[in-house]
Amino acid sequence: MMQKIAVVYYSMSGNTDYAARMIAEKTGAALIRLVPEKAYPDTGFRKFFWGGKSAVMGETPALEPYQFDADAYDLIVLGTPVWASSFSPPVRSFVKENKDATDGKRMAAFVCCSGGGAEKALEKLRKFTGVSSFDAEMVLIDPKEKPSDDIIMKVEQFCKKIAQNENKGE
């Protein structure tokens, strides 16, 4: 039986959105894009200052309404940009709002970044979701700005790993 997958993600500059759409295309996953009610500055110094401060402070911004029913999915894939070696505050809000519903659910995660901090961000996300390990993890460096065969291969491997773990939760 085909598993039902939700890719829940936040994207500011389009890299995480680009990767989420690739995953959805390859797996048939539902896309759930998280949008904060109050947008973050997305250019210049203010982008890095506010995003970094929000991530470091563990903020949970209010999100625009989204459709998500944890019971409808076998696997939840979380996608986030890396901000100050952490995951983005909108993803923090989603995890917090759906903690009870997602408890015990199979999860995978991917992060997009331009620099370092990806492994720390994944570690913090694991701790925050309460999972000991994700079914699959992926780090992409600027997938939208710098598309490459390597990125396509990484996404394909990530999707294969998710599919291989299909019976893991049963």
Length of the chain, in residues: 170
Query: How far is residue 59's CA from residue 24's CA, in Å, rounded to a whole number?
Result: 28
Please report, for residues 23, 136, 154, 160, 161, the alpha-carbon distance to residue 157 in angstroms, rounded to integers and kept in the order given.
10, 9, 5, 5, 6
> What DSSP state is assigned to residue 161?
H
What pLDDT shows up at residue 21? 97
Tokens of residue 50, six digits: 């506010």
CB 129 within 8 A of CB 107: yes
What pLDDT shows up at residue 1? 57
Report the SS3 class of residue 24.
Answer: helix
What pLDDT shows up at residue 119? 96
The class level of CATH for 5-164 reads: alpha beta
Query: How far is residue 37's CA from residue 39's CA, in Å, rounded to a whole number?
Result: 6
The sign of the CA dihedral 115, 116, 119, 120 is negative
What pLDDT shows up at residue 126? 96
Return averaged pLDDT per consecutive 10 residues of the chain, 170 residues in all: 89 95 96 92 71 79 94 96 94 96 94 93 96 95 93 96 68
Task: Give the E-state strand segments of the chain in sequence order.
Answer: 5-9, 30-33, 75-83, 86-87, 106-113, 137-141
Q: Which amino acid is at 142?
A: D
What pLDDT shows up at residue 166? 64
What pLDDT shows up at residue 169? 47
- The domain locations on the chain are 5-164
User: Which of these, 70, 84, 82, 101, lies nearest to 8 by C-alpha position?
Assistant: 70
Strand partners, 75: 5, 106
Start-to-end C-alpha separation, the chain:
12
